[in-house]
Every structure is written in structure tokens, then in C-alpha cells.
């Protein structure tokens, strides 16, 4: 299960559709406040990772990340944003950064890395965290998970096929 927070409905729908195509469950939320309320509800389903945008009304993605970390320090967090130039103290809690527009293969590889990290620990993953401000495509290399000592194990359905020549 993956959660995605973004104020753009089209991107939320795309994310959920791609996750289904990759064989994963996903839920989306229209703003950080909606997500934080969900986290406090009895219906909360613990995700394997949270993906969030940064620029959103009422509360930024970084403020959301700070609140998520307070509630669950071991939760994996990835950012999907068109703004790679923003600096914030909470970026240290981010495992991956995906720049909009992104290719579905990037998302597939990152979700696969997050799953593998959770099952086997970060030493088993050959995918490097992107630093904010890096605008290059993700490539396989050594992965430096900020949760290295606390990676947990979970079970998800295996990934399925993906779109080859789309760019989102």
C-alpha cells in the first residue's frame, strides 16, 4: 500500500492507476490536512511508503513530512514535485525525489526499491536516493536509505507490467 498527497486531481488519479498497473494498492489525498486527519482516524491503513508533492495550499509537503515523522519515524517518504530547488530541514527524511514530469518507469523502480528495502534492508537495494537539486534521471547505484537501521519487512503483491513510452 502506498499513499500519495497532491493537490492536483489528475496526478492523484494517475498515481493510483500506475500503482494498480504495477500490482500495488494506493490511496490518494487532496491535501496534507486531509492526510493527517486520515492518519488519526480508526480507518488508517499503514502504508509501505508515502509520496507527497511539496507546493500545496494551506500546508507544504515539507510541513506534512514533519508531521508524518513525528507520528512514525520509520515510514518511508518520497517527494514528487516540479520544484527541486526548495531547501528545508525535513528533506533529510526523504528517501527519493522524483521531478515532475516523470516517466512511469522511474516510479516503478522507486516503488520496487522501497519494497526491497523494506523486505531486505537498504543494503540490498541498488538505487540511490536523489538529493534535492539533482535534476538527472535516476540510475542504479548504491542506495543510501535514511532508515538504514530501521527498515522493516512487509508483504505486497508482485509488480506487473508497465507503460513503456509514456512521460508524465
| Residue-level pLDDT at 154 | 31
CA–CA–CA angle 95, 96, 101 (5° rounding): 160
Q: What is the DSSP letter of 9?
A: H
**Any domain includes 138:** yes
**Any domain includes 156:** no
**Any domain includes 64:** yes
- Segments forming the whole domain that contains residue 22: 2-150
**Any domain includes 166:** no
Give the Cα separation of 5 and 23 in Å (integer).
Answer: 20
Q: What are phi and psi of 96, to 5 degrees?
A: -140, 150
The contacts of residue 110 (CB under 8 Å, 6+ apart) are: 78, 96, 98, 127, 138
Q: How many domains does the chain have?
A: 1
- At 97 the three-state DSSP class reads strand
Q: Please give the radius of gyration of the chain, using alpha carbons only, rounded to the nearest integer.
A: 15
Report the relative pairing of strands 76-81 and 26-29 from DSSP bridges.
Answer: unpaired
**Any domain includes 49:** yes
pTM over cut 0.85? no
Cα 42 to Cα 2, 12, 50, 73, 122, distances in angstroms: 18, 23, 18, 20, 31
Grid-cell match 521531478, residue found: 99
Q: Are 123 and 158 in contact (CB under 8 A)?
A: no
| Residue-level pLDDT at 73 | 66
Give the Cα separation of 157 and 25 in Å (integer).
Answer: 9
**Any domain includes 164:** no
| Residue-level pLDDT at 135 | 34
Query: pLDDT 10s digit of each residue in the chain, 168 long?
Result: 999 999 999 999 999 999 999 999 999 999 999 999 999 999 999 898 999 999 999 999 999 999 999 987 678 899 998 866 666 556 777 888 888 888 899 999 899 888 877 677 655 555 444 443 343 333 333 334 555 544 433 322 333 232 333 333
**Any domain includes 23:** yes
**Any domain includes 83:** yes
- The CATH number of residue 15's host domain is 3.40.50.2300
Give the Cα separation of 64 and 53 in Å (integer).
Answer: 10
C-alpha cell at 26: 494506493
| Residue-level pLDDT at 124 | 54
Amino acid at each position: 500500500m502506498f499513499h500519495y498527497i497532491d493537490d492536483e486531481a489528475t496526478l492523484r488519479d494517475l498515481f493510483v492507476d500506475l500503482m494498480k498497473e504495477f500490482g500495488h494498492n494506493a490511496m490518494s489525498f487532496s491535501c496534507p490536512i486531509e492526510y493527517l486527519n486520515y492518519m488519526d482516524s480508526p480507518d488508517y491503513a499503514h502504508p509501505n511508503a508515502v509520496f507527497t508533492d511539496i507546493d500545496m495550499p494551506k500546508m507544504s509537503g515539507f510541513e506534512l513530512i514533519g508531521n508524518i515523522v513525528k507520528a512514525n519515524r520509520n515510514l518511508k517518504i518520497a517527494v514528487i514535485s516540479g520544484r527541486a530547488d526548495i531547501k528545508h530541514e525535513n528533506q533529510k527524511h526523504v528517501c527519493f525525489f522524483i521531478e515532475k514530469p516523470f516517466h512511469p518507469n522511474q516510479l516503478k523502480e522507486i516503488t520496487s526499491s522501497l519494497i526491497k528495502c523494506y523486505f531486505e534492508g537498504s543494503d540490498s537495494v541498488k538505487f540511490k536516493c536523489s538529493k534535492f537539486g539533482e535534476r538527472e534521471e535516476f540510475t542504479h547505484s548504491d542506495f543510501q536509505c535514511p532508515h538504514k537501521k530501521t527498515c522493516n519487512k512487509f508483504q505486497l503483491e508482485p509488480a506487473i507490467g508497465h507503460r513503456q513510452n509514456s512521460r508524465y
